[in-house]
Structure 1
């Protein structure tokens, strides 16, 4: 299939190199300032690329958002990569991903090294404060997702069914079965959902390249299920995080239950370290999937180091980027059909149920010990939802409250 000219417009630098540099600089600024998680990131992207720079119109932006929500992987990172890809080709996609991800990844690696010094009572107070951050932020994310993704009773029933299913057994195969259930039942239960109207976007490559990228995604995923018990630590690390990035639907907070099954259940990361890292991920800008850098550094009680952080980071992001770039040529044709929109609606409803269980276990069970903890987390939740305070302010407040209790 012959390549097509990209549909993205706006200010036009005189060379491809200038476009790549413009993409890199813009996403670096977003990577340094985009607090609040994937839902907030989409708002930042729309303001920057639709309203300010006019690289996209609302119709094309909405199509990209729908695709990234439909696919497994980190939705905001996939969206940023797609915008860079459409704006400046493959180098533009890579520049967008690196610039948006690197600031938070470096901060999370630094937190991993600093966690060596968090064994004393004050350090434990900091860790507990980060757990309270996780309670407030995940509760806000759950509420927002429930409002937008389960607005009617058919989708609420799907979410409740997924919650009941994983409550009986939270194992990874059960979670995947729940997602499959949503994809199957979505076209039947979500008949009121319709695909957005409007022209779709154009690409600089066709379906052959797209198919090759999807095959690469699937082949690497199949390889992660091979018996790696006798393989090197880095092979096990890469396989575990690639599988997590390849199978999580919804991104952001939803990666929590899958990562817990991947790294906590086998004993590679202890639960307190895992939740402290998740809380720290709320304190930094950029994608929440950079939690993988912290977990890779802390792998098997700190044996991962910088190399482990890099392996985990690349492994968790790679499947999402392969899949979104491979799916773009096909989404041009499928995105205009109601059946695709209804399947997406069913999967998204299941994601709400999975996140609801993750909120209870491990976030609530590990972070809430008494009524004071409930009060601190609830105040943080109200500040996020009602006062719309920045996430960073909630991090500071929960840490301060936890340290004051210790004092």
Structure 2
């Protein structure tokens, strides 16, 4: 690598800094970027304001978990590839462990009280995803063209369904974006350089895994291979933030019958209450698939595989970012893709989230209350995670 400061003595410093953030950074991806700026631009001075803004722009352009990709890139600048891995591991580990422990003990929530609390967590998912759709629509569909793309994506996700409908909606959105959307003006900033050899290796590995894992899974391989394939594909196709992984994962783990829809929605509700990246929802899903040590193994595999494609793409695209961000075609493509993502998430808000949670008028009232607490009163998500299960328990 060139242009990246590497110092083994810094790995512990990187790990400790990101572990603190992994333990305390509530609020979702946008909040995480605020935490990163305060910790690494303002307080530690590990990178400049323009460099940080450029990393954020790159990671929002790529598929994958934007905040985790930014953290990975900051670790890369500070300590090379070992520093990047230390940053990712420390930021991800706390929430992953909590969610695996919850999945392992969720069966203990029996009886009326436990079921009321679980139902309240499903209502949290309604409120949180509705808030995500509302915010993303305002930002990513600000004109008639992109609103139309989102509407087309809703119809494709509803009438075609499954992974085919979602991927088709993204492809159609990208094509319409290139045809009809208008590019935005960009300003250059300092580039984060990376060896071309590492870039090529990362891109080749990204596409090899995307092509070969489905083949290996279709040949009747082990459960671990099937999980690797499902979560890698979900991580490779997520545009627009952590909440967008919900419909992709639902198609991968609920439709084949690996876990029930109720278990899926319960875990998504719990994922809102923990700090760190929302993609650690994969840790819960892996653990929920099997008991004991096998569940822990599947949780580790699912967690690594859902993050891996975004990190490979980041390393692969870094040397070419200046040219890409100036390309009007790339800007139009990503505008169309992001608008389609809003439509896909909007379809997921209805099925399975709304259908699995709102079954009577009190459920609607609680979900609406949670949505307003997030959008109007600006409550953090973890407080809503506490309030709605309590409300469900009282009303039940």
The TM-score, its normalising length taken from structure 1, stands at: 0.92
Judging changes above 3 Å, is the alpha-carbon distance between structure 1 residues 271 and 235 closer, same or farther for their aligned structure 2 residues?
same
Q: Describe the shift of the 1:302–1:346 C-alpha distance in structure 2 as closer, same or farther (beyond 3 A).
A: farther
RMSD in angstroms over aligned alpha carbons? 1.8
Aligned counterparts of 1:238 and 1:144: Cα–Cα separation in 2: 31
Query: Shift in Å at residue 187 of structure 1?
Result: 3.0
- The equivalent residue for 2:127 is 136
**In 2: Cα distance, 1:264 partner to 1:302 partner:** 21
Could you tell which deviates more after superposition, 353-362 or 247-256?
247-256
Question: Of 231, 246, 256, which aligns to 2:236?
Answer: 246
Taking the aligned partners of 1:87 and 1:337, their CA distance within structure 2 comes to 29
Q: Name segments (4+ residues, structure 1) moved above 4 Å.
A: 300-303
Q: Structure 1 residues 58 and 351, CA, compared in 2 at 3 Å: closer, same or farther?
A: farther
1:405 maps to what in 2?
A: 395
Distance 1:307 1:29, change over 3 A: same
The match for 2:79 is 88
From 320, 327, 341, give the equivalent of 1:351.
341
Unmatched runs of 5 consecutive residues or more in structure 2: none
d(CA) in 2 for partners of 1:311, 1:32: 22
TM-superposition CA deviations, 1:168-188 (whole Å, max 9, x none): 112212211221222222233
Q: CA deviation at 1:322?
A: 1.2
How far did 1:195 drift? 4.0
Cα pair distance change 1:403/1:23, threshold 3 Å: same
Q: Which moved more, 1:312-321 or 1:93-102?
A: 312-321
- Displacement of 1:300 in angstroms is 5.1
Cα distance in 2, alignment partners of residues 60 and 350 from structure 1? 29
Hey, what does 2:316 align to over in structure 1?
Answer: 326
Decide which of 41, 46, 59 is 2:50's aligned counterpart.
59
Give, in whole Å, the separation in 1 of the partners of 2:389 and 2:282.
22
Change (3 A) 1:350 1:20: same
Q: Equivalent residue for 1:317?
A: 307
The partner residue of 1:24 within 8, 15, 36 is 15
**1:302 Cα deviation from its structure 2 partner:** 7.0
- Matched with 1:11 is none
1:222 to 186, 206, 211: 211
Q: For residues 275-290 of structure 1, what are the structure 2 equivalents within 5 Å?
A: 275-290=265-280
**Structure 1, unpaired ranges of 5+:** 9-14
Distance across 1 between alignment mates of 2:96 and 2:209: 23
Residue correspondence of structure 1 range 95-114 to structure 2 within 5 A: 95-114=86-105
Describe the shift of the 1:151–1:58 C-alpha distance in structure 2 as closer, same or farther (beyond 3 A).
farther
Task: Report the Cα distance in structure 1 between the residues aligned to 2:48 and 2:61, rounded to whole angstroms.
Answer: 20
The 3 A distance-change label for structure 1 pair 47 and 150 is farther
Cα distance change, pair 212–195 in 1 and its aligned pair in 2 (3 A)? farther
Check if 1:206 corresponds to 2:204.
no
Deviates more, 1:242-251 or 1:50-59: 50-59
Q: Deviation at 1:43?
A: 2.4
Q: Tell me, what secondary structure is at the counterpart of 1:293?
A: helix
C-alpha distance in 2, partners of 1:165/1:366?
Answer: 21
CA contact (8 A) 2:59 2:314 kept: yes
Q: 1:77 aligns with which of 51, 63, 68?
A: 68
Q: Distance in 2 between matches of 1:384 and 1:194?
A: 30
8 Å CA contact 1:190, 1:346 repeated in 2? yes
| Deviation (angstroms), 1:217 | 0.8
In the TM superposition, residue 51 of structure 1 has moved relative to its aligned partner by 3.0
**2:261 aligns to what?**
271
- Tell me if 1:236 matches 2:236: no
CA distance in 2, matches of 1:52, 1:386: 31
Distance, in Å, in 2 between the alignment partners of 1:362 and 1:157 is: 23
Alignment CA distance shift 1:337-1:200 (3 Å): farther
Determine the C-alpha separation between the residues in 2 that align with 1:46 and 1:142.
Answer: 25
CA distance in 2, matches of 1:195, 1:184: 21
The answer as to 2:369 corresponding to 1:383 is no
Say which SS state the counterpart of residue 217 (structure 2) adopts: coil
Cα contact 1:31–1:104 (8 A) shared by 2: yes
Asked if 1 retains the 8 angstrom alpha-carbon contact of 2:192 and 2:318, the reply is no
Determine the structure 1 residue equivalent to 2:3.
5
Partner-residue secondary structure (3-state), 1:228:
helix
Partner of 1:147: 138
- The match for 2:171 among 156, 180, 197 is 180
Relative to the length of structure 2, the TM-score reads 0.95
* Comparing 45-54 and 212-221, the one that deviates more: 45-54
